[in-house]
Chain A
Amino acid sequence: MSTKVYITGMGIISAIGDSVEETLQSLSDSKTGIGKINYLETFHKDTFVVGEVKHSNNELIEIAGIGNYNRTTLLGYIAAREALKKASINDIKEARTGFVSATTIAGMCTTELLYKDFLEGRNNTNFIDSHFCGVSTNDIAKHLGIIDYVTTISTACSSAANAIMLGARLIKNNILDRVVVGGVDPLSKFTLNGFNTLMILDKEWCKPFDENRKGLNLGEGAAYLVLESEKLVKEKNKNILAQLLGYGNANDAYHQTASSPEGHGALLAMQNAFKVAGIHPDAIDYINAHGTGTPNNDSSEGIAMQTLFNNNVPKFSSTKAFTGHTLAAAAAIEAVISILAIRNSMIFPCLNRSTQMSDLTITPVNTLEKNIPVNYVLSNSFGFGGNCSSLIFSKN
């Protein structure tokens, strides 16, 4: 159980770029990917801003080069392929390799276009084969050649954190030697309208941790990490990007959608992650917060951070004002961003924020900070159903 779990590769596609390099460039330039809706067909096209991947489905089909799949599978495959490439893995079968992917809507981006017409007999396009959550995971795994342990997790907005956590546990339990972990969610009318009914969408750029924050901006994308066991890393003399030091999962058990005011579940998840990591919270150099920009989340999460760090909270920011809230992909996208912070000694800013929150004493990082040693990063992700998860990454 004592084996270390290293990150040897990562891949990402989101509103701020198609690769790790493009993502770092946008983050370094404080350049958001959130803007007017270009690709999603919706009544609300001119009402909301979103973080779209800047490609049509046809362009993604071209980029992925694996055939005519839906946006979910294409985004997932593009990011996972990059992760494997960055990890210099050419022969999947040389070690026990798994694929753990998270998604909340899976094939909904296609289903929602065809659903009613199909049920009422006006078309015969079979979308059901691509609708269910496991399908895109299986298709991505097939094209990556992964067969040993392939599964899908869906715990709302914390999904990818749980996929990453499961991957680490599978290595520590000696079930796998390495595992590609992360998540994917495309934009859809379903989620845009859903979050709109909750009245937690900001029509302008979201302002995480700002007193006047009005809600979140939805985003889309995918990100995956390659986790490898200490043994395999040594055997193959692999280049290490970071270590996945800790992880924690807890349930707030407070309300179906809202977080408890004192952030009980968030606190437990962070505490669990520190327990696994075996480090003191003081060691943390940067927190990539969940920070959706909704009144409820940022307050609850902020209070939980203040409690855990005893009001001595490290530098923190939410990067959702760059990418939008990418739901099941969020924790994986933010894992990549956390590792970029470690690798590049940078702390990325909380964009659009100007006014101190009245119920918090802490203030996020507002402008890019360079040449800062970042050895330990905590990343939070919380979701509906009370699901709370935290991850801790370290440089060595």
Chain B
Amino acid sequence: MSNLIETLKAQIIEQLNLAELKPEDIDPNAPLFGDGLGLDSIDALELIVLLEKHHGIKIQDPKDAKAIFASLQSMADYIIANKK
């Protein structure tokens, strides 16, 4: 699990061009959107592609994204639960 979290941190920083951010700056339980990391709807779409590209998981309905991307932890949980 902690490996997955670290991998996700690196992937998010790269995909979302968060060059000013270091992996240790991201709290796995802090919200990714709004007050936490401050991501927005465009980032959510980027994360959907990230999940498909790097983890082979396809989210069909963008409405589901909100819960899955609540935090880094929820993202990791979703990956583990849906990994084939």
Q: Which A residues are within 8 Å of any B CB, using their own CB?
A: 197-199, 255-258
Contact = CB atoms under 8 A, between A and B. Distances in A.
B82 interface: no
A263 B45 CA distance: 22
Interface of B: 40-42, 45, 48-49, 62
B42 A199 contact: no
B41 A197 contact: no
Nearest to A258: B41
B42 A256 contact: yes
Contacts of B48: 199
B42 A257 contact: yes
A256 B42 CA distance: 9
Contacts, number: 12
Main secondary structure of the interface of B (DSSP, over half): helix
Contacts of A256: 42
A199 B62 CA distance: 7
A255 B43 CA distance: 13
Contacts of A258: 41
Nearest to B65: A199
A256 B43 CA distance: 12
Contacts of A199: 45, 48, 62
A250 to B, nearest CB: 22
Contacts of B49: 197
B67 to A, nearest CB: 16
B48 to A, nearest CB: 7
Q: Which 5 A-B pairs have the closest CB atoms?
A: A199-B62, A258-B41, A199-B45, A198-B45, A197-B45
B62 to A, nearest CB: 4
Contacts of B45: 197-199
A207 B41 CA distance: 22
A256 to B, nearest CB: 7
B17 to A, nearest CB: 15
12 contacts: A197-B45, A197-B49, A198-B45, A199-B45, A199-B48, A199-B62, A255-B40, A255-B41, A256-B42, A257-B41, A257-B42, A258-B41
B16 to A, nearest CB: 14
A240 B82 CA distance: 63
